[in-house]
Structure 1
């Protein structure tokens, strides 16, 4: 993975994840991570968590708001709850979190180091340096409020942290990966996500090496008081600008734009990928999940969700340019693109847990079936046809009650009550700002 892999605009959203969804996110997040570690190893899971597009898609497939900054908090929280009981088995430890939990990260890392034989002092120092670089060396107008540090038993780690700009109601997420990291101040980021703010001060860019050296020379030559005296003689920023070399343009990077609107629109989804997943679920499901399809409640709708979860587990980075598509697996807590189908969600978790459990016992058939489901989706998407995104969402909303549809506004009403229910929910959404 390249040191810096992209950026994204994230609207800043408040609110809390309801308990009924947080519990499901914990279970689904943990079992997906188990499957990835079992199939590809711990290092691959860390690489994926350091990839901003995959991270957003991961949160979307878990039923969190597909476009918002809240995915960062909820995913880190779900992984901390879900992976902590498995830390001895997987060799992965999730530390930190939001607010006061972020400040406790160094102490948590010291405890992990003592428990598994790592250099906890070095890990704590790495945590502090990462936070310091993104809060001081990268001056982009965002104040850090979340810091998640995930470390493996062999000392490799990934950091996901996020800052907010309250004035613009925007957030920026930063990803760090220890793999290939040689310096904390020379282009260390795996990725930075957030809205473009024009030119920013990024002293952690390798092209700022001359600037860092010059600042150290000034400090050694003049000392802090001498620097303050010199600054007092400068009249305005224009005088400074004429004395330094013009800053180079920042390199162009892949940029994921998350809109502020809640609804999922056709342009947010790569339709051929959606059609490939649906076609694979229809063709491979009866073949590869014959035993599972005999379980009451596990049917075609669950297999469609499994096809999207399978892509999160097995897909290449280029497959995650449209995170909104993954919200079509389990909806969203705010009824966008549709209410969370809790029955489908629970069956998805059940199928995955069973597949991972059997794989640990040497019976790989069900995990391999999920892998084939993903491969078949990529093969079929070149020619597959199907519903439009709008029709797919409309059908999901129509069937929501049957699927156990639930949102922050409550349970979905039966179809005969839908017109009144839709009006009530629309009124509630307007009241809470969308």
Structure 2
């Protein structure tokens, strides 16, 4: 049983993820997934991957361009690499990808089915059908080029796929989840969202049932002349249809820089305050990881929200780019020393939790709890001041971007 869980409109960006970032994204994506499954279970990880706002925030906290289409490819790629060696432990398998990899999805699903006892052929058929719905039944001007299928050992699944509109230089991401589906062709979508693109054809809308029946009747009983006559009648009698109800809706802006209006500032201030107040107490006594600095605790506070936050907390994905920056120096270069320390702390916490020692993972959870308690009264720097400070200190944090290592005093040279 499945339905569309949401979608997102994103500026279309080219380029590749550099290896130094891709490897870190793989490790961070894996350990965050482990933490979510440990705390909340496998179904919760699938639910989050099916949520367009959380997915975008997840990519932003991993150091990708916070608003771009590249988040989809890079997050799915990182999870495919990072979760493969953990598939027996977590019971989660990531198949598909971009271009040629997307066409291998049915074969990969058959392989998963053989390993864990699922009907891989049926999953492969589901994969093809979901792709057909978003490429043919919903004609919105976006041509699919990426298809990711995440399936659990119990047969529950999530599909994340993306289409491209080259003329508008936009991408649109579609999320599906195997829950509450009654039909693939009658209102399977929980949401279709994005900027208005003019009239589209959506033959899966429940209101289009009569149209679907009529099309079958036309194909079965009428020749070309009959189809032309019916088309003329429809054109003459056409009237605007009522607007589709709005559902989870993510539209990312075209501008690359992170601006104050992109961030819910009170949430940023709360995370910074929680790191300042909760961090010294918990991290010295509980984490016992040498060298954990205040800057790492600030990042952990934002990562903690990705692990523990409710869906309503992810309305501003740009805020999560303030944890570990972005590969194109927006909002600031990726602080590789902080990134590595963050992964080290999270991995240590997860490994200890597997052995029944929950203190470290619990300390990270308390960062998120403290942030929410402080949200109403916390004060802090403006978004612009926060970014300026990060750029000024980037060299000392091992700042790196696709343009190379950040030189001391290079903060003024941000394009």
Give the TM-score of the pair, scaled to structure 1.
0.92
Specify every segment of 5 or more residues in structure 1 that has no aligned partner in the other structure, as ranges.
427-434
1:372-406: CA deviation from partner (whole Å, max 9, x where unpaired): 11011011010000000000000000000000000
Residues of 2 paired with 1:246 and 1:413: CA distance? 58
- Counterparts of 1:99-118 in structure 2, within 5 Å, are 99-118=99-118
* Aligned: 1:242 with 2:233: no
1:312-368: CA deviation from partner (whole Å, max 9, x where unpaired): 000000000000000000000000000000000000000100011011111111111
Answer yes or no: is the 8 Å Cα contact 1:171–1:195 preserved in 2. no
Taking only aligned residues, the RMSD between alpha carbons, in angstroms, comes to 1.8
Equivalent residue number for residue 312 of structure 2: 318
Answer yes or no: is the 8 Å Cα contact 2:3–2:179 preserved in 1. no
Answer yes or no: is the 8 Å Cα contact 2:192–2:247 preserved in 1. no
2:362 to 364, 368, 371: 368
1:348 to 333, 342, 345: 342
Residues of 2 paired with 1:56 and 1:9: CA distance? 11
* Aligned: 1:261 with 2:255: yes
Residues of 1 paired with 2:71 and 2:61: CA distance? 11
Secondary structure of 1:290 counterpart: helix
* Aligned: 1:393 with 2:407: no
Measure how far apart 1:15 and its partner are.
0.4
Answer yes or no: is the 8 Å Cα contact 2:57–2:317 preserved in 1. yes
Measure how far apart 1:239 and its partner are.
5.0
1:408 to 402, 410, 413: 402
Secondary structure of 2:162 counterpart: strand
Specify every segment of 5 or more residues in structure 2 that has no aligned partner in the other structure, as ranges.
none
Equivalent residue number for residue 185 of structure 2: 185
Equivalent residue number for residue 137 of structure 1: 137
Number of residue-to-residue matches in the alignment:
414
- Counterparts of 1:25-424 in structure 2, within 5 Å, are 25-222=25-222, 226=223, 228-232=224-228, 239-243=233-237, 246-291=240-285, 295-415=289-409, 418=410, 422-423=412-413
Answer yes or no: is the 8 Å Cα contact 1:310–1:371 preserved in 2. yes
Residues of 2 paired with 1:33 and 1:7: CA distance? 21
Measure how far apart 1:244 and its partner are.
5.2
Q: Structure 1 residues 205 and 11, CA, compared in 2 at 3 Å: closer, same or farther?
A: same
Answer yes or no: is the 8 Å Cα contact 1:12–1:164 preserved in 2. yes
Secondary structure of 1:359 counterpart: helix
Measure how far apart 1:208 and its partner are.
1.6
Answer yes or no: is the 8 Å Cα contact 1:286–1:293 preserved in 2. no
Equivalent residue number for residue 429 of structure 1: none
Answer yes or no: is the 8 Å Cα contact 2:191–2:249 preserved in 1. no
Q: Structure 1 residues 247 and 121, CA, compared in 2 at 3 Å: closer, same or farther?
A: same
Answer yes or no: is the 8 Å Cα contact 1:9–1:196 preserved in 2. no
Q: Structure 1 residues 193 and 401, CA, compared in 2 at 3 Å: closer, same or farther?
A: farther
1:293-323: CA deviation from partner (whole Å, max 9, x where unpaired): 7644411100000000000000000000000
Residues of 2 paired with 1:3 and 1:273: CA distance? 31
Measure how far apart 1:233 and its partner are.
5.4
Measure how far apart 1:188 and its partner are.
1.6
